[in-house]
Chains A and B, each alone.
Chain A
């Protein structure tokens, strides 16, 4: 008789988890809503936003550049007048011989997008990232982290279902308990990272379509860090979700054991949303493994952190993942077959034989 070792068992468990979720209408519905929201946020303001931007044009060359674009042209005699109009915010930007674009404090994405080729931009009052964009990006990153973190709660749900229906006895009698845990984490990791990849591929397309290519240039490096951080961060949270599920025997009791894990997801979310102005707080958050996944990429985005800091924090996170997975695996083993009420952590630890 053939036998199933650790890895084949892990694979079978992961496959089952994924197949179950890929068949749920809710799963696809959620992903569709996310994509629709993403595209809507990127494109709709461009389509229905404050009609045509008014742009000052200096000289025939500038005028020609702006012809056939979706901007309203206002001819001005010289660059000085154009700058005046820009400063007075009477026009959104000015196109001067070169051709060059003059704007006040923010690269005029609509104007740039309207031009066939992006000309060099002179900012009269440059800022690394404008306040509005900064807040938007922080919100978005925090939101993706939140969704990603909560995505692991399905592991807790699934584990309780197995305990409640008692199929867990058959599973434990058949394959190593650690293979069950590993399979669940792997399956949900692939599901969530898969969704993340879809969003990561869709986001640049949406930004491009919406004419926010410059924003894309700014966000791309942070996004590049966000993905590896989330990949590690998910394993960290997933193993905790699994323990939360293994500690209780009924769905009704799940709320109590899920609470602390939920705090570990909500905490970093609110942390970065509310403390984003506080450089010290953000620095601390960016090194704590549970919040690093969202705080460090944001610091990279705002330009507060160097690449070596991100690498260091990622290393700390990876170390924490190993430690937490080992701990969780012991607690999961010790509590999976305990029934009746909520298993105390101490008891779960002691029962892992």
Chain B
């Protein structure tokens, strides 16, 4: 398990991270959400030791992250880059060796990965000859070649076409299923919604929410309902404990102040006529995200 504890970092007078803490658990895909400039990349660079924290600590399996430990991590930086003039397979094999694999193991892993990522046909092309989407796949392969113990991916899906997203997603899911903790940042909330098990939301250098996806949904979402009746639902505005979010003739979306109010609303609705629909609304991540930041 990766544990980030009270990590702070400033650039000059600008405090980019303010005592942030969160965990990344084994076998879980953890989505790292935050607006541009909220501190996601800085956090990831600190975890990878590329940047030093000004306070706090990052531990892996309870111990400090030393050079040999760091070497077992897989990292995909936000700004992509591999050697443009080096052949794809050769490059990924080399990076595998740099991470401590033997030449033969690195070669075997590269072959397997390129196959998984549908890149085998481009193995002997120079990186710069690949389309951007394929370069992105090569970048994923570079982060995975050494069978990393932990995966840190900064915006892994940006720039990918939908088919590539599915391919990469499958590959990452496989790794998580093998027990590898995966931390990835993204702006694409719908994608994160589909993909992540846990969520960490960061805003202006502070963690505003973190936990399991369902747990967060429950925390941020059970108070909202949709009601559809036969006649006008305007009476809801005057119902105690209710805040109407949206009202459109017989259809209304409202929030309640506590766990009993929703049942009382249902009773009054039934007393006024037929109820066609009464649904608790599960918030999308986007809503949680907007609320949390």
Residues of A within 8 A of B (CB): 1-4, 9, 12-13, 16, 20, 161-162, 164-176, 337, 353
- Interface 1/0 per residue, B65-107 and A, CB below 8 Å: 0011011110101011111111000000011011111100000
Contact check, A173 vs B75: say whether CB atoms are below 8 A apart: yes
CB of B24 within 8 Å of the partner chain = no
Binding-face segment, B49-57, B164-172, B240-248, B282-290: B49-57
B75 x A12 contact (CB < 8 A) = no
Q: A1-B149, A165-B83 are in contact. Are A173 and B98 (CB under 8 A)?
A: no
CA distance A246 to B21 in the complex (A): 33
Chain B binding surface SS class: loop
Residues of A within 8 A of B45 (CB): 169
Across the interface, name the chain A residue whose C-beta is closest to B87: A23
- Contact at B102–A165, with CB atoms within 8 Å? no
Distance of A164 Cα from B80 Cα, bound (Å): 10
B71 near A174 with CB under 8 A, answer yes
The contact sample of 26 A-B pairs, CB cut-off 8 A, is A1-B72, A1-B149, A2-B100, A2-B101, A3-B72, A4-B100, A9-B98, A12-B94, A16-B86, A16-B94, A20-B85, A20-B86, A165-B84, A167-B82, A168-B81, A169-B48, A169-B75, A169-B79, A170-B95, A170-B142, A170-B143, A172-B50, A173-B50, A174-B70, A174-B98, A174-B99
Shortest beta-carbon distance from A290 to chain B in Å: 31
How many residues of chain B have a CB within 8 Å of chain A? 35
Contact assessment for B98 and A171 in the assembled complex, using a CB-CB cutoff below 8 Å? yes
Q: How far is the CA of A166 from the CA of B155 in the complex (A)?
A: 15
Tell whether, in the assembled complex, residue A3 and residue B94 are in contact, meaning their CB atoms are under 8 Å apart: no
B137 CB contacts on chain A under 8 angstroms: none
A175 to B94 CA separation, bound complex (whole angstroms): 13
- Distance in angstroms between the alpha carbons of A164 and B49 in the assembled complex: 20
- Tell me how far the C-beta of A107 lies from the nearest C-beta in chain B, rounded to whole angstroms: 51
For residue B146, CB closer than 8 A to chain A, the reply is yes
B81 with A167: CB separation less than 8 A:
yes
Q: How far is the CA of A299 from the CA of B164 in the complex (A)?
A: 66
Q: Is the CB of A173 within 8 A of B83?
A: no
A164 to B82, CA, bound (A): 10
Question: Which of A20, A162, A165, A167 has the largest count of B CB atoms less than 10 A from its CB?
Answer: A167
Q: In the bound complex, do residue B71 and residue A165 qualify as a contact, i.e. CB atoms below 8 Å apart?
A: no
Q: Which residues of B contact A13 (CB under 8 A)?
A: 98
The chain B residue sitting closest to A3, CB to CB, is: B68
Task: Give Cα distance in the complex from A169 to B70, angstroms.
Answer: 13
A4 touching B83, Cβ below 8 Å: no
Shortest CB-to-CB span from A128 to chain B, Å, is 50
Nearest A residue to B70 by beta-carbon distance? A173
Q: Which of A161, A166, A175 contacts B71 (CB 8 A)?
A: A175
- B77 A166 Cβ-Cβ under 8 A: yes
Nearest Cβ on chain A to B183's Cβ, whole angstroms: 14
User: CA of A353 to CA of B50 in the docked complex: distance in angstroms?
Assistant: 11
Complex CA gap A130/B75 in Å reads 64
- Min distance, Cβ B30 to any Cβ of chain A, angstroms: 19
A165 in complex: contacting residue of B68, B75, B82, B101, CB < 8 Å? B82
Of the candidates B51, B72, B81, B94, which one forms a contact with A166 in the assembled complex, judged by CB atoms under 8 Å apart? Answer: B81
Cα separation A174 to B95 with both chains bound (whole Å) = 9
Give the complex CA separation of A169 and B48 in angstroms.
9
Q: CB distance A175 to B77 under 8 Å?
A: no
- Asked if B98 contacts A167 (CB within 8 A), the reply is no
CB contacts (< 8 Å) of B83 on chain A: these are 20, 161-162, 165, 167
Residues of A within 8 A of B48 (CB): 169, 173
Q: State how many angstroms separate the Cβ of A164 from the closest Cβ of chain B.
A: 8
User: Ordered nearest first, which 5 A-B pairs have the shortest CB separation?
Assistant: A165-B81, A166-B81, A2-B100, A3-B68, A173-B48
| Contact A3/B71 with A12-B98, A20-B85, A169-B50 known, Cβ cut-off 8 Å | yes
* Chain A residue at smallest Cβ distance from B69: A3
CA distance A161 to B49 in the complex (A): 22
Indicate if the CB atoms of A166 and B80 lie closer than 8 Å: yes
CB nearest to A167 among chain B residues: B81
Beyond A1-B100, A2-B100, A173-B70, 20 extra complex contacts between A and B, CB < 8 Å: A1-B71, A1-B146, A1-B149, A3-B71, A16-B86, A162-B83, A165-B81, A168-B81, A169-B45, A169-B81, A170-B95, A170-B143, A172-B49, A173-B48, A173-B49, A173-B73, A174-B75, A174-B98, A174-B99, A175-B67
- B77 pairs with A3, CB closer than 8 A: no
- On whether the beta carbons of A3 and B100 are closer than 8 Å, the reply is yes
Asked whether A4 lies within 8 Å of B99 as measured between CB atoms, the reply is yes
Which A residues are in CB contact (< 8 Å) with B95? 170, 174
Which residues of chain B have C-beta atoms less than 8 A from A2's C-beta? Answer: 100-102
Chain B residue with minimal CB distance to A170? B75
Residues in B with CB closer than 8 Å to A173 are 48-50, 70, 73, 75
A170 proximity list for chain B (CB < 8 A)? 75, 77, 81, 95, 142-143
Which of A167, A176, A337 contacts B67, CB < 8 Å?
A: A176
Q: Give the chain A neighbours of B85 by CB distance below 8 A.
A: 20
Q: Are B79 and A166 touching (Cβ within 8 A)?
A: yes
